[in-house]
A and B are shown apart, each in its own frame.
Chain A
Amino acid sequence: MGEHKITSTGSMAWSAEAGDDTREMMFVFHRGAQTFALPPTSVAEVLGQLEVTPVPFAPGWIEGVVGVRGDVVPVLALQTYFGLGKAEAVASRRLVVIRHEAHTLAVWADRIVGVEAVEVGAFEPPLGNLPEAMLKVCRSHFRMNETVVHCLDLGLLLTESRARVVAG
């Protein structure tokens, strides 16, 4: 895999080339030992600490629900869902509210890197050694300062998670 330039914008800077066609903007955040990326358009908003209400008889990877501006949004425990073990709660964590079509979901981020401009050529197919549940919803991956960033397909994630809920 070759080296591809990634213009780190995030909270620090915004590249003048952010709008060109050779780059794609990605919302990057850390959770546990993994780093994930989502399209910024699918991120509704980022919130601070909120109290999560547990849902009885919900699967283990549904941590509970939160109230976001009048809506009840389920909180998905990404690590548990992907079979990567239970992630520890970090004091400075953020709740990322993501939306796809009419569905809304929230996931915890230990630290948010920001919105990054990634060269289109930097994207590569998902790594083959990922857990099955993660491989199903992982669209591609790229490297950022030697860190592997897994790009999640939000539509697949919502569809799969709903299918697992239905399947019980």
Chain B
Amino acid sequence: MRFIRNLSLKWKLFGSAALVMALITLVMLSYYPASQNRALADGLRAKVTAVATMLSSSLAPAVQFQQMAGVEEIFGGAAKDAELKAVRVEDMEGKRLAGLKDDSMVQVLKPTSGETPDIVFEEELLQVALLIEAGGAAVGVLRMTYVLDSFREQAAQVWTMSLIISLAIFVIGSGMMFAVGSRIAKPVLRMTSSFHHMAAGDLKQEPLVVTSDDEIGTLGKAYNDLLQQLRSLSDHARSISEGDLTRSIEVQGDLADAFRAMAATFTEIARRFDELSSSLDDRTANILTTTKQQEAGAAEEASTVSEVTATMGELAATARQIASNAESVTHSAEATATTVGQGRTALSTFVGSISDIQQGNKVINDNIVQLNRHVQQIGGIIDIINNIADRSDLLALNAALEGTKAGEAGKGFLLVAGEMRRLAENVFNSTAEIKQLIGEVTEATNATVMATESGMKSTKRGVELAQETERAFERIVDTIEQTTQASKQISVATQQQHTATDQIVSAMGEVSEVAQQSLEGIRQTASSVAELSNMASQLRKMIGRFKVRREA
């Protein structure tokens, strides 16, 4: 039974159809041949009865009178029947009166009627016996024997035909049922496969093609509706997994309601997370800003402390240097006082020399001015000479012209005029050179005058400066004495300052160490806050993937 239950639908349909066809075949094989045999037997019996009745009536006068001559003619028609094996006519005592064919084979059968023959079917023969009556009394017996070969052959043909027809009905019926079963089972198998895929989570399969409105078609439509609903819910689940919580779920049903509830819960969680992460991000940013300010302040403080420490160290060193320098200043001031005294003496000598130079310059300047005046007079004389030379040149030229006009007589005159022109040109050249020299001398004397005047001014300024320097020397001596006293006091004060700054340097070193530790702590805090801010940003980024509907 388990095997039958596990069979597929088409095989079950085929098995049922085959069983029904087998029963029909059996019924046909058990009923149809028998009925056909009966019909054949009835036909044979009717034929035999007719022949026997006809022969009996024809033979009755001959048998009554025992006059059997000419009975062959009565048998004539029946003798042509190939199935008739023998005919025998007897009297009532069983004496053979006439016969046809091999009547010895006719068995004894006691007749009971003169109207209806007695017929007995044997294995291969048919025995017939009929009383021959004449005048209402039985006068003899007619016996016939028929061969049943044809009858048996026909019966066998009927059986064979029945078997063939039954088998054909069985095969065709079973095949048709198998085809119908396959046609019914195919969409069912397809749906079964699709359901298997659906159960395995595969929703990418194509919808079924429904071409009928019967139960199978209705089942296919229901399957397609289920597939569409599951796909819609799958898409929504995918959107939710990608962070889109804004899509509305259009399908209905318990599963869709559960999805809606889940999306609403996710939306609320995302909103809440977004608010929390935003708040966390803002607060960590504020903390980070504050921490960075503290860090900058601490760093500045540490730097300032270091600078102060360094400065105090430098101050201590400077104090030492000042103390040393103050002693040097004291010694230098004393040496300077001695040198200044020597300088004052030398300066007096210098002032006297400068006064002598000033006087000499004045004499030189007067002489040069006089020289310049003479040079200017020479220039005037040169102009006169030049004018004379020019006029001489003109005269010589006109004289040459007159000499030319005079012809041979003016030849000598012409020569003299030529010489005069040459002399005039020499004078021109010489005066030009003299003028150039006068210009140079004038420039030189002017420069000398200016230099002399400048020298006089310089020597006068030198004398003033020397006198001023002398007064400065006096003030320097006073200042040196004050400097000596002050440097001694500075030396003592700087010693005290040196001691105090050493103590400050030591204290600032401790402060610097504390400031460094504070700075390191703030940096660690800032690093932690930065990490926290980064995590808040990542959380916001992650939550930001969810798109939710904003409440009004």
Contact = CB atoms under 8 A, between A and B. Distances in A.
B415 A43 contact: no
Contact of B422 (A11, A43, A46, A94): A11
A32 interface: no
Contact of A11 (B390, B397, B407, B408): B397
A13 B394 CA distance: 16
Interface in A6-50: 9-14, 18-19, 25, 27, 40-41, 43, 45-48
Contacts of B391: 48
A115 interface: yes
B404 A115 contact: yes
A13 B397 contact: no
Contacts of A46: 394, 397-398, 401
A11 B393 contact: yes
B231 interface: no
Nearest to A19: B408
Contacts, number: 63
Residue among B390, B393, B397, B415 with max Cβ neighbours from chain A (10 Å)? B397
Nearest to B415: A14
Interface string B392-425: 0110111011001101100100110110111011
Given A12-B418, A48-B391, A115 B411 contact: no
A112 interface: yes
Contacts of B396: 11
A18 B414 CA distance: 10
Nearest to A43: B401
Interface residues of A, number: 22
B400 A11 contact: yes
Nearest to B400: A115
Nearest to B413: A14
A18 B425 contact: no
Given A10-B421, A14-B418, A41 B405 contact: yes
A11 B404 contact: no
Nearest to A44: B401
A46 B425 CA distance: 16
Contacts of A45: 398, 401
B549 to A, nearest CB: 103
B401 A40 contact: yes
A19 B394 contact: no
Interface in A68-83: none
A45 to B, nearest CB: 5
A14 B397 CA distance: 12
Contacts of A13: 418, 422
Contacts of A14: 400, 411, 414-415, 418
B279 to A, nearest CB: 101
A14 B412 CA distance: 9
A94 B394 contact: yes
**8 residue pairs, one from A and one from B, having the closest CB atoms:** A11-B421, A40-B404, A14-B415, A14-B414, A14-B418, A46-B397, A45-B398, A115-B400
28 contacts: A9-B400, A10-B421, A11-B393, A11-B397, A11-B400, A11-B418, A11-B421, A11-B422, A11-B425, A12-B418, A13-B418, A14-B400, A14-B411, A18-B414, A19-B407, A27-B401, A40-B400, A40-B401, A40-B404, A41-B404, A41-B405, A45-B401, A48-B390, A92-B390, A94-B394, A114-B421, A115-B400, A115-B414
